[in-house]
Structure 1
Amino acid sequence: MPSYVITGASKGLGFEFVRQLSENPDNLVVGIARDKAATVKKVSEELAGRSNIHILQGDITDYDSIKKAVEDTATLTGGALDFLVANAAYVSQWDAYDSLGTLAKKPQELEDDLLKSFKVNVLSNIHLLNQFMPLILKGQAKKVIVLSSGHADLDSIRLYDLDVACGYAISKAAMNAAVAKFSAQYRKDGVLVMSICPGSADTGQFAKATPEQLQSAMQLMGKFQQYAPNFTGPGAPKDAVSAVIGVWEKASIENGDAGNFVSHYGNKQWL
């Protein structure tokens, strides 16, 4: 029975990973969520009858809560884990629509928000991978997948002047480097660690945007269309998740995927 752990399982792509992976009754799917009660309720309402889903309490910024989630996962799986999907992230709404030069007008807010992006998206995920690695080393598949973003691709930033979502982009780029470092340590043990970008998925990120922010978002969408002329806007989460799963199923150390950062197409085409 292949075993999976997904962080940020309460909504968005995280819940969609739980939904799709649990469709196969042979899979054991563990979702980690900050609000366990609400997530259990959502599973019971939308995924009723799937006894292969287990929701655990956990916040990736709380080291001890993840330590407990690791212990509970080990009990469920017999001490091993095949797949760890590091999906949970902080997507700032404060810096999502402005450049660093504009954000610099509020230096303390810039510092606080950038540090929060780094703490959640980098440091907390480093702790997460370290805590679950003993279980991964005992697993069969030995795959660790970190959800990344095309915003972290330096060529795209410089070629298309992608000057917004600064903290998110910087933190995701830093985590890509951490993924490569984990791979450098554990590839010899047969562990595949890699970053995958799910593309642009509609997870309600623009729901509370002001008219000015929506204008900035439209400018960003225009740059995306310059990059990928067929791009028509964020796609459905189910398609993004299905594509990411397809990439990690094909990925292997032997194919040169260890430590790599790829898109939902399995290459460097981000949209």
Structure 2
Amino acid sequence: MPSYVIVGASRGIGHGFLKNLSADPSNTVIGLARNPSAVEPIPNVTILKADLLDPASLNAAASRATTLTPDGAIDHLIVNGAYLGEASAFIAPSGFVGKEAFFLSELQTSMATNVAGVLYSINAFLPLVKKSRIKKVVVLSSGMADTECFQTAGLPHTVAYAISKAGVNVLVAKYAVEFKDEGIKFLALSPGVVGTSDFRQLSPEDQEGYAKMAAGFAKTYPDFKGPVAVEESVGRQLEVIHGLTLAQSGQFLSHRGNKEWL
């Protein structure tokens, strides 16, 4: 009877994890959201209130989670919540000339959410993960954190976001080193390019930016046809998660289980 906690489960990929995992009644599935009442109800899922930037709320959610599993353990912790500023998504580094305060604000928000928020989440649930026999902690990252990938594809955008995702990959690797002897397996996992509702609501300007990004992806991935459905991405990610071994702990992999990001 495996247990799962999905941090950032209100929509998109996080909600997709809830739908997939709840289909098996033997799973214990817990989702975290800032506003639980706004989350679409799913049978066999418990939604708890928590905010990535509020350690106290995460600790409270972890305390509540101990009462929801038979042994008070969490087998899989999946940290999904992230910040990608729409207004800065398609600005290259030199585009911030004269917009230094804006860049600093975007970088601070990205680092706070995508790095510090991950650390808060992991630390809140670590005591529960330690009780598990499975002991897996997965943080959703991005192929945009792979310098070789975006250099080959010619993609100068999503600056603050990419920096923060590279940072969280380091954080995951540090956790892997710290808890190797306790058998806890950590992984930074890219979901690929996913067609979430947020993605489909791009502004005309951002759609143009995405078109340029897609052209860049095509240089490295000639078969790239555009975003995959949430269901497909989640299914592939779970295959990687369920196959994760201690020897892979600390690695940065794609939803394909390798370095193919699309």
TM class, shorter-length: over 0.9
- Asked if structure 2 preserves the Cα contact closer than 8 Å seen for 1:81 and 1:135, the reply is yes
CA-CA distance at 1:160 after TM superposition = 2.1
Q: Which amino acid aligns with 1:132?
A: F
- Asked if structure 2 preserves the Cα contact closer than 8 Å seen for 1:143 and 1:192, the reply is yes
Matched, 1:59 2:51: yes
> Residue in 1 aligned with 2:251?
260
Q: 1-side partners of 2:200 and 2:7: how far apart?
A: 23
CA-CA distance at 1:208 after TM superposition = 4.4
Q: 1-side partners of 2:204 and 2:184: how far apart?
A: 46
Q: 2-side partners of 1:97 and 1:249: how far apart?
A: 34
Aligned residues: 261
- Asked if structure 1 preserves the Cα contact closer than 8 Å seen for 2:29 and 2:46, the reply is yes
> Residue in 2 aligned with 1:36?
36
Once the two structures are overlaid, the 10-residue window that deviates more, 9-18 or 213-222, is: 213-222
1:194-243 per-position Cα deviation (integer Å, ceiling 9, x unaligned): 11111010113344433332212101000111111110101100000000
CA-CA distance at 1:141 after TM superposition = 0.8
> Residue in 2 aligned with 1:13?
13
- Asked if structure 2 preserves the Cα contact closer than 8 Å seen for 1:95 and 1:103, the reply is no
> Residue in 2 aligned with 1:243?
236
Q: 1-side partners of 2:205 and 2:118: how far apart?
A: 33
Matched, 1:217 2:202: no
- Asked if structure 2 preserves the Cα contact closer than 8 Å seen for 1:150 and 1:197, the reply is yes
Q: 2-side partners of 1:20 and 1:69: how far apart?
A: 22
Matched, 1:191 2:175: no
Unaligned runs of 5+ in 2: none
- Asked if structure 1 preserves the Cα contact closer than 8 Å seen for 2:152 and 2:220, the reply is no
Q: Which of 219, 223, 232 matches 1:230?
A: 223
The alignment partner of 1:4 has SS state of strand
TM-score of the aligned structures, taking structure 2 as reference length: 0.97
Q: Aligned residues: percent identity?
A: 36
Q: 2-side partners of 1:111 and 1:202: how far apart?
A: 28
The alignment partner of 2:236 has SS state of helix
Q: Which of 68, 80, 96 matches 1:76?
A: 68
Once the two structures are overlaid, the 10-residue window that deviates more, 69-78 or 181-190, is: 69-78
Q: Which amino acid aligns with 1:36?
A: P
The alignment partner of 1:66 has SS state of helix
Unaligned runs of 5+ in 1: none
The alignment partner of 2:86 has SS state of coil
The alignment partner of 1:134 has SS state of helix
Once the two structures are overlaid, the 10-residue window that deviates more, 206-215 or 242-251, is: 206-215
- Asked if structure 2 preserves the Cα contact closer than 8 Å seen for 1:16 and 1:237, the reply is yes
Q: Which of 129, 154, 160 matches 1:161?
A: 154
- Asked if structure 2 preserves the Cα contact closer than 8 Å seen for 1:104 and 1:110, the reply is no
The alignment partner of 1:76 has SS state of coil
Q: Which amino acid aligns with 1:163?
A: P
Q: 1-side partners of 2:244 and 2:36: how far apart?
A: 31
Q: 1-side partners of 2:147 and 2:154: how far apart?
A: 10
> Residue in 1 aligned with 2:111?
118
- Asked if structure 1 preserves the Cα contact closer than 8 Å seen for 2:153 and 2:218, the reply is no
Q: Which amino acid aligns with 2:9?
A: A
CA-CA distance at 1:183 after TM superposition = 0.1
Q: 2-side partners of 1:69 and 1:16: how far apart?
A: 20
> Residue in 2 aligned with 1:132?
125
Structure 1 moving runs of 4+ over 6 Å: none
Q: Which amino acid aligns with 1:25?
A: P
Q: 2-side partners of 1:124 and 1:217: how far apart?
A: 27
- Asked if structure 2 preserves the Cα contact closer than 8 Å seen for 1:59 and 1:65, the reply is yes
CA RMSD of aligned residues (A): 1.1
Q: 2-side partners of 1:128 and 1:84: how far apart?
A: 9
1:119-167 per-position Cα deviation (integer Å, ceiling 9, x unaligned): 0000111111111111101012100000010000011122222100111
